[in-house]
């Protein structure tokens, strides 16, 4: 079968209105959960959009699931811009977020701005960066120039060596206090979303309630975050790596990839995923 006659091409386009920054803020204010998944190419960009995913994150996790690296560190800005372009060509209504890769925003705010412009020109509607503290001025600089920002705290994979591995963050009082201050600073700087990765569920619940203007997106941070995100290949059960405990294989029992993604969206929306007894810390 040729690509021109493939079922993916023949699928009926979704009729939903595009997800905008205003829509995300309305969802957060009303308590509607935000369903986010990673996506890296045009085919899955269309599938994710058609299946009702609110946000597609073109993550630097592509370094592991697509390129075969053992971390995200080898991913370059050129790689990210290429994959953002691929997804943007097929996506019509989901909010599209591009990851700023390692070394592309660490030098100064001008470097961060140039890197963000590259992703926005490639089709991203928001950029994501990792870390708290030193990143708040970067976030403020970008937001002031019309670039929406998603922050990322807790386990930050680009700092995996400094953190001593892929470990839960914020377990002790000092770690929890640091995360709380980082989140306040990022919210004040203008971040709209903030990924909480491998943060204890109880702490994530407290911070989600405290942060009125920045929606928390959990990945291994419990069910009470304002939304959830997973790596697409993980939730489809096709990753070559051992799955973290916060992942649920939505392909298990699903008749198709599309149905697995729809089940993920529905489970996030109704709060049945994640199950804190199984997926949280």
- Residue 173 backbone dihedrals phi, psi, to 5 degrees: -60, -40
Residue tagged 């929606």 (tokens)? 215
Whether 197 sits among the annotated catalytic residues: the reply is yes
Instruction: Tell me, letter by letter, the H, E, C secondary structure of 36-96.
Output: EEECCCHHHHHHHHHCCCCEEEECCCHHHHCCCCCCCCCCCHHHHHHHHHHHHHHCCCCEE
Catalytic annotation, pick one of 78, 197, 210, 259 = 197
Burial of 256 (C-beta count, 10 Å sphere; 0-12/13-18/19+): exposed
Residue tagged 């109880």 (tokens)? 202
The span from the CA of 5 to the CA of 14, in Å, is 19
- Residue 168 backbone dihedrals phi, psi, to 5 degrees: -60, 140
108 is in an annotated binding site: no
The span from the CA of 247 to the CA of 158, in Å, is 20
61 is in an annotated binding site: yes
159 is in an annotated binding site: no
Within 8 A by CB and 6+ apart from 237, the residues are: 243, 249, 250, 251, 252
| DSSP, residue by residue, 136-181 | HHHHHHHHHTT--EEEEEES-GGGHHHHTSS-----SHHHHHHHHH
Within 8 A by CB and 6+ apart from 88, the residues are: 45, 96, 122, 123, 124
The span from the CA of 21 to the CA of 5, in Å, is 35
Residues tagged active-site: 197
Q: Which residues make up each annotated binding site for Mg(2+)? A: 60, 99, 130
Q: Which residues make up each annotated binding site? A: 60-61, 99, 128, 130
């Amino acid at each position: 079968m040729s690509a021109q006659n493939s079922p993916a091409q023949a699928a009926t386009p979704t009729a939903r209105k595009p997800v905008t920054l205003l829509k995300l803020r309305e969802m957060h204010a009303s308590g509607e959960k935000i369903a986010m998944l990673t996506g890296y190419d045009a085919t899955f960009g269309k599938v994710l959009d058609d299946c009702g995913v609110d946000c597609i994150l073109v993550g630097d996790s592509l370094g592991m699931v697509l390129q075969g690296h053992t971390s995200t560190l080898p991913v370059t800005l050129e790689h990210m811009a290429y994959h953002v372009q691929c997804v943007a060509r097929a996506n019509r209504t989901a909010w599209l977020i591009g990851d700023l890769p390692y070394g592309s925003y660490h030098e100064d705010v001008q470097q961060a701005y140039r890197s963000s412009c590259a992703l926005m020109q490639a089709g991203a509607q928001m950029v994501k960066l990792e870390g708290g503290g030193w990143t708040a001025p970067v976030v403020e600089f970008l937001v002031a120039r019309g670039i929406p920002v998603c922050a990322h705290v807790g386990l930050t994979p680009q700092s995996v060596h400094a953190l001593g591995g892929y470990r839960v963050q914020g377990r002790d009082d000092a770690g929890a206090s640091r995360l709380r201050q980082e989140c306040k600073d990022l919210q004040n700087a203008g971040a709209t979303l903030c990924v909480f990765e491998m943060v204890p569920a109880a702490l994530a619940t407290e911070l989600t309630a405290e942060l009125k203007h920045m929606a928390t997106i959990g990945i291994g941070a419990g069910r009470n975050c304002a939304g959830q995100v997973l790596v697409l290949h993980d939730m489809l059960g096709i990753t070559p790596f051992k799955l973290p405990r916060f992942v649920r294989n939505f392909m298990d029992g699903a008749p198709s990839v599309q149905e697995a993604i729809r089940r993920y969206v529905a489970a996030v929306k109704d709060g049945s995923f994640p199950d804190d007894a199984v997926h949280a810390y």
